[in-house]
């Protein structure tokens, strides 16, 4: 999934930030916080006019909110041919692959390349330091840790 890393690097170079809130503003994506159904944490939506929205649960911690926004930005940037209804109704798509891609995008966006992973004895310690999930650490450093 080096192509995802290359997209994130390009995004950071163009917009000069990896801050998800700044990216939402720069990309003109509207963030809507509300109670979502079925305990969902986030969802993206692209309307027929090309307007893009990220809905996130209003029950997330600050750290979790940042991760969910990065994940949903991954969908919006990587999966430009999808919108929410298409994504949930099309049984031909491999949803697991799409979710892994969005998580990989979030990992590359939220975790800088210059982190010294050898300072931490466990993935849990590194995740705690980076304020991301262990899953994102594993995706970022798949060949390292």
Mean of pLDDT values over 120-124: 90
Residues 6+ apart with CB under 8 A from 135: 103
Comparing 142 with 108, the larger pLDDT belongs to 108
45 close to 81: Cβ distance less than 8 angstroms = no
| 29-61 pLDDT per residue, tens | 999 999 988 778 999 998 889 899 999 999 999
Which domains occur in the chain, in start order?
2-114 (1.10.10.2910)
140, two tokens: 């970022």
42 close to 76: Cβ distance less than 8 angstroms = no
Looking only at the bridges linking them, the beta strands covering 42-46 and 29-34 are unpaired
Q: How many CA atoms lie within 13 A of 108 on its CB side?
A: 21
| 63-112 pLDDT per residue, tens | 999 999 999 999 999 988 776 533 333 444 556 888 899 999 999 999 99
């Amino acid at each position: 999934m080096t192509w995802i890393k290359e997209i994130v690097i390009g995004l950071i170079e163009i917009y000069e930030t990896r801050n998800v809130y700044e990216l939402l503003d720069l990309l003109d994506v509207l963030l809507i916080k509300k109670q979502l159904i079925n305990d969902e944490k986030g969802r993206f939506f692209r309307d027929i006019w090309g307007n893009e929205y990220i809905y996130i649960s209003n029950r997330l911690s600050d750290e979790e909110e940042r991760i969910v926004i990065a994940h949903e930005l991954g969908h919006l940037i990587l999966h430009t041919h999808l919108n929410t209804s298409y994504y949930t109704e099309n049984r031909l798509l491999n949803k697991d692959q799409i979710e892994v891609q969005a998580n990989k995008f979030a990992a590359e966006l939220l975790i800088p390349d210059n982190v010294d992973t050898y300072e931490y004895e466990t993935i849990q310690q590194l995740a705690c330091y980076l304020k991301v999930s262990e899953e994102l650490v594993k995706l970022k450093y798949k060949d390292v840790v």
